């Protein structure tokens, strides 16, 4: 029987082989948690995503129903025995660094109870056994189940709110927090990620830092045909391929450690010549190993020497850098594995707010940290397990690690500023008037060394 269906029946019938109540002072258990978990009613769901990701789950299935929300995942590392006494578990210390997945789960369960739902159901079953719980207020029902064949542990949590309503905030939170997650997050069978983090209508700079590290430790990017650019620089020098796009300058780099910034392992530098194909070549097929980065019409006025105005830009030789384990449809280019990255620096043409560092840990983007990045309104998305957080696991602590990240990003931005100044000298080619170039230069202080 499907575990979610079983929990639904258990909650409706009220049958159990044992029952009890949370006799330990519940308020004392909650005092240990950051208030961050309880200000945002969606945090329980975000923490459950982290629990699934930290426990090795490949995907998370969310089913929004009229009266409840169900979250289901298959964990390679959770064991049903960990949940055979949920009452005792919830009043123990909130997990440790040795068991990060369990620590995330405990916070998720506490946060979901703090929302005072009509009922809350949790079940976990593996080859050894199964345990399920239905919680109503301080009362708890417990049911044992027979094990099921196979490796890993099937887990499901179902929350039935006291006042049912649309799940708009929950979907919005998942879409934002899990945009670059290695965990496939599916809402009503529709995958929410990977997605492009929006920073503005037009983007001045996209700077990707490719990596060969394990994919679970990286940002999972959308196909880059979703981030079309005007000027490309993929590690082989400044390039202009006369393409359409919403980003002026798109750069690929990798992390190079030095004595000032020892953040991750040194990566080889990317050096990809951009290859070009037109619509005729596309009919006969571009190389199977090709990774398309842009397709569409060439910019108006730059058609000399070409027999049509259609263009495909692609690269090959990505094998030394990490690709996602989940292939995605890239439209006319078939099913391909998107790139992964250590960091993604995005800067809008027109800034909206201050510059922010957004760290990803266990499949979730944490609360942003205001930083100085040398470009107005820039957003730096970085996957980094070394950044410390408060007890919620969602708020980074501004310590030496964050300061090192800020310093490194500031140094990297200084390098891009020179390339932006160079590109903007030819702003008319890209549709920027002299007045627009002057405004961009002023906003981002590009005339200041």
Nearest residue to 88 (alpha-carbon basis) of 20, 11, 160: 20
Contacts of 255 (CB under 8 A, 6+ apart): 209, 211, 263, 264, 265, 266, 267, 342, 343
Mean pLDDT of the region 266-278: 84
At which residue do the structure tokens 């951009």 appear?
274
Nearest residue to 359 (alpha-carbon basis) of 348, 373, 344: 344
What are the distances in angstroms from CA 55 to CA 73, 154, 280, 443? 10, 12, 48, 44
Q: How confident is the model at residue 275, as a pLDDT?
A: 84
| Higher-scoring residue by pLDDT: 60, 320 | 60
What are the distances in angstroms from CA 428 to CA 169, 208, 363, 423, 435? 42, 26, 41, 10, 11
At which residue do the structure tokens 């594995």 appear?
337
pTM (2 d.p.):
0.92
Res. 83: pLDDT tops 80: yes
What are the distances in angstroms from CA 225 to CA 193, 292, 300, 347? 15, 7, 20, 18
Mean pLDDT of the region 158-186: 95
Res. 131: pLDDT tops 80: yes
Res. 16: pLDDT tops 90: no
- d(Cα 365, Cα 394) in Å, to the nearest integer? 8
pLDDT bin (cut points 50, 70, 90) of residue 14 is very low
Res. 28: pLDDT tops 70: no
Nearest residue to 245 (alpha-carbon basis) of 231, 259, 234, 261: 231
Phi, psi values for residue 60, rounded to 5°: -130, 125
Instruction: Quote the DSSP letter at residue 441.
Output: H
Q: How confident is the model at residue 1, as a pLDDT?
A: 45
pLDDT bin (cut points 50, 70, 90) of residue 239 is confident
Helix residue spans in 261-385 (DSSP H): 279-284
Can you tell me whether residue 372 is helix, strand or coil? coil
20-29, 173-182, 273-282: which is most confident: 173-182
At which residue do the structure tokens 């990240």 appear?
405
When mean pLDDT is compared across 133-142, 238-247, 376-385, the lowest value belongs to 238-247
When mean pLDDT is compared across 2-6, 171-175, 240-244, 363-367, the lowest value belongs to 2-6
Residues 194 and 184 sit within 8 Å (Cβ to Cβ): no
Res. 301: pLDDT tops 50: no
Res. 304: pLDDT tops 60: no
Q: How confident is the model at residue 341, as a pLDDT?
A: 97
Q: How confident is the model at residue 195, as a pLDDT?
A: 95
What are the distances in angstroms from CA 449 to CA 203, 301, 374, 426? 21, 33, 10, 20
The torsion defined by the Cα of 349, 353, 354 and 358, in degrees rounded to 10, comes to -90
- DSSP class per residue in 158-188: EEE-SS----HHHHHHHHHHTTT-SSEEEET
Average pLDDT, the chain: 87
22-26, 231-235, 306-310: which is most confident: 231-235
Mean pLDDT of the region 348-352: 94
- All structural domains of the chain, each given as residue ranges with its CATH number in brackets, are 3-191 (3.30.565.10), 203-443 (no CATH)
Mean pLDDT of the region 57-65: 96
pLDDT bin (cut points 50, 70, 90) of residue 389 is very high
Round to the nearest angstrom and report the end-to-end CA distance of the chain.
66
Mean pLDDT of the region 291-309: 63
């Amino acid at each position: 029987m499907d575990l979610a269906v079983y929990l639904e029946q258990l909650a409706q019938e009220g049958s159990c082989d044992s029952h009890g109540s949370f006799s330990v002072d519940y308020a004392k258990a909650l005092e240990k948690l950051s208030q961050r978990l309880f200000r945002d009613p969606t945090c329980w769901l975000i923490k459950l995503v982290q629990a699934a990701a930290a426990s090795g789950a490949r995907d998370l299935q969310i089913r929004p129903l009229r009266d409840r929300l169900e979250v289901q995942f298959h964990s390679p590392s959770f064991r049903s025995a960990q949940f055979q006494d949920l009452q005792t578990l919830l009043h123990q210390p909130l997990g440790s660094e040795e068991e990060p997945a369990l620590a995330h789960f405990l916070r998720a369960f506490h946060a979901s109870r703090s929302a005072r739902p009509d009922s809350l159901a949790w079940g976990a079953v593996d080859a050894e056994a199964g345990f399920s719980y239905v919680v109503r207020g301080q009362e708890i029902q417990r049911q044992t189940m027979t094990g099921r064949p196979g490796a890993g542990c099937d887990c499901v949590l179902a929350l039935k709110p006291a006042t049912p309503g649309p799940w708009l905030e929950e979907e919005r939170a998942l879409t934002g927090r899990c945009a670059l997650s290695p965990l496939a997050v599916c809402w009503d069978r529709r995958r929410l990620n990977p997605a492009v983090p929006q920073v503005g209508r037009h983007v001045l700079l996209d700077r990707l830092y490719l990596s060969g590290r394990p994919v679970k430790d990286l940002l999972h990017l959308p196909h880059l045909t979703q981030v079309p650019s005007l000027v490309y620089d993929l590690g082989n020098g400044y390039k202009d391929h006369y393409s359409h796009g919403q980003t002026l300058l798109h750069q690929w780099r990798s992390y190079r450690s030095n004595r000032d910034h020892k953040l991750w392992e040194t990566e080889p530098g990317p050096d990809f010549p951009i290859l070009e194909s037109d619509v005729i070549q596309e009919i006969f097929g571009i190389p199977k190993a090709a990774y398309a980065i842009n397709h569409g019409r060439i910019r108006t006025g730059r058609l000399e020497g070409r027999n049509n105005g259609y263009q495909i830009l692609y690269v090959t030789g990505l094998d030394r850098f990490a690709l996602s384990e989940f292939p995605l449809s890239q439209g006319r280019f078939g099913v391909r594995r998107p790139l992964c990255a250590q960091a993604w620096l995005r800067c809008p043409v027109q800034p909206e707010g201050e510059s922010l560092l957004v760290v990803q840990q266990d499949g979730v983007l944490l609360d942003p940290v205001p930083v100085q990045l040398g470009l107005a309104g820039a957003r730096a998305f970085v996957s980094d397990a070394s950044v410390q957080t408060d007890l919620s696991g969602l708020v980074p602590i501004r310590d030496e690690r964050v300061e090192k990240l800020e310093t490194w990003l500031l140094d990297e931005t200084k390098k891009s500023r020179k390339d932006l100044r160079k590109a903007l000298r030819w702003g008319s080619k890209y549709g920027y008037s002299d007045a627009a170039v002057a405004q961009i230069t002023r906003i981002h202080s590009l005339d200041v060394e």
